[in-house]
Structure 1
Amino acid sequence: MTKSTQPTVAFIGAGNMARAIIGGLLDNGYPANLIWATGTRAEKLADLEARGLNTGTNNDAAVLAADILILAVKPQIMKQVCEPMRATVQQRRPLIVSVAAGIGCDSLDQWLGGSHAVVRCMPNTPSQVQSGASGLYGNERVSDEQKAQAESLMSHVGLALWVEREELLHAVTAVSGSGPAYYFLFMEAMMAAGEKLGLGADTARRLTLQTALGAARMASASELDPAELRRNVTSPKGTTEQAILSFQAAGLEKIVEEAMQACAQRSRELAEQLRD
């Protein structure tokens, strides 16, 4: 650990997810001088350097400064990024946190030389607006202190929850990792239907988005579960009931379950392809 009361965090890769986490850290007062970010092209890091971060193209330099090492490159190139850092990571031994989908803790540990504390994190795209939902899993070498550090890190961009088994990250992918796209699709359908009912495109869009936002905030703030909230606004023989009955007649619940099962299965398949 550094002498600072806060760990130094180094990001290997500075794409959208890394920048979302960095933005959340900075917006919550995390010292910029305790954050490193590397990439293949220095000019792509100029905006981060301007915000006070340590930036560069030398991954080893970032590793040597790191208490927490965030692996934020694409899964397909993770092995070729990790292996050249192996000796430096072995020397420094930071907490490893991967935000890359599909690559297991064992593979990451092996590529980095072995015997590391490794946390896998499955964030989602709303992390870019600090409204993310992340599932976390840590291998047996992750201490309670390191778990707290990883959770604190991801909490800067939204909700962070631990799962007990690595396999459950496939379920996390199906629920929250891919979940925003489900809601976007539903929004698309609502906006299109609103226009067919006679609303202007802008009106249909704004009403749909505000309704989605309001429903999510209401469900988050309420002690009632979504089923009870739905029943509370579904009057017998009323307008909402007709819409709900139509959804249920079309098998909405089964459609959602099958879609999420397909998502989780594809997550398992991709993980298998990326293994070693």
Structure 2
Amino acid sequence: MTDLSAFSPENPLILAGCGNMGGALLNGWLRSGLSPDAVVIVDPVMAEAGSAPSGVACYAAVTDLAPTLAPAMVMLAVKPQVMEAVAAGYVEMVRRSGAGVISIAAGVGLASYEAWFGPSTPLIRVMPNTPSAVGAGMSLLFKNAAVSDDLATLGEVMLSAVGACIWVQREAQIDALVGVTGSGPAYVFLLIECIAAAAEKTGLTPEEAKLAARQTVYGAALLADQQPEIDAAELRRRVTSPGGVTQAALDVLMAPGRGLPDLFPEAMADGERRNAELSGKT
């Protein structure tokens, strides 16, 4: 099966880690029809708090799971710093059940997972982002040679439940794009901050200014999304009257050497360098 019905109480999806991103993905799957009894969470914080979604089993540690459990898939959704230790707890289970493994950790490459689980284990690396929490995420996927077409389709279904997804051809593309699609929402939030600050200076209350900023960004994004045949540059030009208010502002924002077209590549390069440092590739 290549939809969420591939998971069942007998062959569940194990979600190792259910923080912000893991929780966003889980909520998306449940909205899309995943049966609560077809997923098992392993998360000590959630287990202690008793805050798992209704009907979803949650355990504090992998050692609490039944030794005969045969998952159809294991998703590793923990921080990169603890990934090796967490993954070690699932190696025997994955090898025994033949389950595929999906990871959403930044900076941990497939070579590491193949070293832990073995190169014959189907492995998918995913870079999602936080708008997945509202079903509007953007995820990048990369798979190793052991992933079958059906498993790749299932992985795509899982990520499509929380937004759009793209398969990349080279793993290096995920590392290069961590600072683009992964971190991208932060840049948009900064833009909202800046628009709100400018709006407040005109006399709007702080709440009115925040509303104006959010709606401006949301409306522009929705317009671009609903007219994909028109590129962003053309949409920008349609708002910009020569010699007008928008043009004057854009002359500052696009100024050679100090405007966004020059600052953005510089920012992305710094982000890529930091990702390489965190993943031990420097």
- Would you say the 8 A contact 1:87–1:113 is kept in 2? no
Two-structure CA RMSD over aligned residues (Å): 2.1
Distance in 1 of aligned mates of 2:88 and 2:114: 10
**Alignment match, 1:234:** 240
**Alignment match, 1:171:** 176
> Measured at CA, do residues 5 and 227 of structure 1 come closer, stay the same or move farther in structure 2, by a change above 3 Å?
same
1:225 to 227, 231, 237: 231
Q: Is structure 2 residue 270 aligned with structure 1 residue 267? A: no
**Alignment match, 2:21:** 17
Distance in 2 of aligned mates of 1:91 and 1:135: 28
Q: Is structure 2 residue 109 aligned with structure 1 residue 104? A: yes
**Alignment match, 1:155:** 160
- Would you say the 8 A contact 1:14–1:37 is kept in 2? yes
- Would you say the 8 A contact 2:47–2:59 is kept in 1? no
Deviation at 1:247, TM superposition (A): 1.0
- Would you say the 8 A contact 1:38–1:62 is kept in 2? no
**Alignment match, 1:245:** 251
TM-score normalized with structure 1 length: 0.92
Deviation at 1:267, TM superposition (A): 1.3
- Would you say the 8 A contact 1:235–1:241 is kept in 2? yes
1:53 to 37, 52, 56: 56
* Worse-matched range after superposition: 118-127 or 245-254: 245-254
Q: How big is each residue's C-alpha offset from its partner over 1:41-63, in whole Å with a ceiling of 9 and x where there is no partner? A: 56446232x51112223426379
- Structure 2 residue runs of 5 or longer lacking an equivalent are none
TM-score normalized with structure 2 length: 0.90
Deviation at 1:114, TM superposition (A): 4.3
Q: Is structure 2 residue 39 aligned with structure 1 residue 31? A: no
Match of 2:91, SS state, is helix
Distance in 2 of aligned mates of 1:256 and 1:21: 29
Distance in 1 of aligned mates of 2:278 and 2:45: 28
- Would you say the 8 A contact 1:10–1:65 is kept in 2? no
Q: How big is each residue's C-alpha offset from its partner over 1:51-104, in whole Å with a ceiling of 9 and x where there is no partner? A: 111222342637933111100111111111112332222111211000111111
* Worse-matched range after superposition: 210-219 or 185-194: 185-194
Matches within 5 A, 1:2-151: 5-7=5-7, 8-41=12-45, 43-44=47-48, 46-48=50-52, 51-59=54-62, 61=65, 64-151=69-156
> Measured at CA, do residues 62 and 219 of structure 1 come closer, stay the same or move farther in structure 2, by a change above 3 Å?
farther
> Measured at CA, do residues 143 and 129 of structure 1 come closer, stay the same or move farther in structure 2, by a change above 3 Å?
same
Match of 1:167, SS state, is helix
Q: How big is each residue's C-alpha offset from its partner over 1:247-272, in whole Å with a ceiling of 9 and x where there is no partner? A: 11242200011111111221122112
The aligned amino acid for 1:255 is L
- Would you say the 8 A contact 2:48–2:60 is kept in 1? no
> Measured at CA, do residues 71 and 271 of structure 1 come closer, stay the same or move farther in structure 2, by a change above 3 Å?
same
Deviation at 1:207, TM superposition (A): 0.5
> Measured at CA, do residues 269 and 69 of structure 1 come closer, stay the same or move farther in structure 2, by a change above 3 Å?
same
Match of 2:102, SS state, is strand
Deviation at 1:213, TM superposition (A): 0.3
- Would you say the 8 A contact 2:17–2:41 is kept in 1? yes
Distance in 1 of aligned mates of 2:66 and 2:234: 50
Distance in 2 of aligned mates of 1:204 and 1:57: 43
Give the number of aligned pairs.
Answer: 272
Distance in 1 of aligned mates of 2:66 and 2:210: 44
> Measured at CA, do residues 121 and 134 of structure 1 come closer, stay the same or move farther in structure 2, by a change above 3 Å?
same
- Would you say the 8 A contact 1:37–1:55 is kept in 2? yes
Q: Which has the higher helix share?
A: 1
- Would you say the 8 A contact 1:130–1:156 is kept in 2? yes
- Structure 1 residue runs of 5 or longer lacking an equivalent are none
Distance in 1 of aligned mates of 2:198 and 2:170: 41
